[in-house]
Amino acid sequence: MSETRLTLPSPAKLNLMLHILGRRPDGYHELQTIFQFLDYGDEITYAVRDDGVIHLHTEFDGVPHDSNLIVRAAKKLQEQSGCSLGIDIWIEKVLPMGGGIGGGSSNAATTLLGLNHLWQLGWDMDRLAALGLTLGADVPVFVHGHAAFAEGVGEKLTPVEPEEPWYLVLVPQVSVSTAEIFSDPLLTRNTPPIKVRPVPKGNSRNDCLPVVARRYPDVRNALNLLGKFTEAKLTGTGSCVFGGFPSKAEADKVSALLTETLTGFVAKGSNVSMLHRKLQSLL
């Protein structure tokens, strides 16, 4: 009897650095970034249906059912694989939308991997990642599940092994529009590419930070407060601000001070996604 029901984690990611090298003719931006996962995220439950219907039971304000990346990922995989099975899906959501920690992309990747397992499709990672790229530039790194130096629009991945500190992530209550940041005339778009691996220290900035901090006072405030205790960084083009600590105790101590007025969480950095660790345990 094959599995018909499965619950999987859908982890957050951080961009440890983000350099924008230029704008491409198609309007996308050429970039270099380092992705690392957090042992923190959403939880998605899947139950196989035999009638081909794909149904996400959890509702999201302002996101129609068929526009949700989870549903789009499931339908694309169903269409491209010719699978006649369907799926019921429920999600316990903790990752903020517009936070820059990969919520939607992670959910899409977890869905591709989960359904590949439940529907017994036998697709390899490269094939799933290529399908994921049609859903979003950040989906492939979640599919592959290893910390990576990323180039192109974020889809050309080289595995890396950065340190795995404890992070305090602050979550300002604003949703940052990626399109708005990338279209800002003041955005730096001419950072020279890094050719050295691993990335030299001192190259860990995020080119989007000055634009996001200028447009969003709540983000600027979080950066200033966290910056009193450790180097405060912005992840992606989102609102979340993070800093690394050598131990959970130190991260918790600063969290207790700052989360009296700000929302946030403490999580361990991980070079292997907790989704992949869970899938490995099922084999």
Q: Splitting the chain (283 residues) into consecutive groups of 10 residues, what average pLDDT does each group show?
A: 84 96 85 96 98 96 93 98 98 92 96 97 97 95 96 90 96 90 91 77 87 96 97 94 97 95 96 97 87
Give the CA distances from residue 143 to residues 7, 108, 169, in Å, rounded to whole numbers and listed in that order: 16, 9, 23
> Is residue 52 a known part of a binding site?
no
Q: What is the pLDDT of residue 154?
A: 83
What's the pLDDT tens digit per position in 114-164? 999 999 999 999 999 999 999 999 999 999 999 999 999 888 999 999 999
Give the CA distances from residue 253 to residues 127, 139, 168, in Å, rounded to whole numbers and listed in that order: 43, 33, 10
> Is residue 84 a known part of a binding site?
no
- Concerning whether 138 is annotated as a catalytic residue, the answer is yes
> Is residue 104 a known part of a binding site?
yes
Give CA–CA dist 269/271, Å, rounded.
7
Q: What is the pLDDT of residue 198?
A: 67
- Concerning whether 26 is annotated as a catalytic residue, the answer is no
The residues that bridge with 6 in the sheet, in sequence order, are 46
> Is residue 114 a known part of a binding site?
no
Q: Are 239 and 216 in contact (CB under 8 A)?
A: yes
Beta-strand runs (E) in the chain: 5-23, 29-49, 54-56, 86-92, 148-151, 156-159, 166-170, 233-234, 241-245, 264-270
| From 39, 42, 138, 207, active-site residue | 138
Rounded to 5 degrees, φ, ψ at 172 are: -60, 145
What SS3 class is residue 62? coil
> Is residue 41 a known part of a binding site?
no
Cis peptide before 192 (omega within 30 of 0): no
> Is residue 54 a known part of a binding site?
no
Q: What is the pLDDT of residue 178?
A: 85
C-alpha torsion angle, residues 44, 9, 114, 117 (rounded to 10): -130
| From 13, 42, 207, 233, active-site residue | 13
> Is residue 106 a known part of a binding site?
yes
Q: What is the pLDDT of residue 1?
A: 35
Q: What is the pLDDT of residue 2?
A: 57
> Is residue 96 a known part of a binding site?
yes
Tokens of 240: 């979340």
> Is residue 97 a known part of a binding site?
yes
> Is residue 154 a known part of a binding site?
no
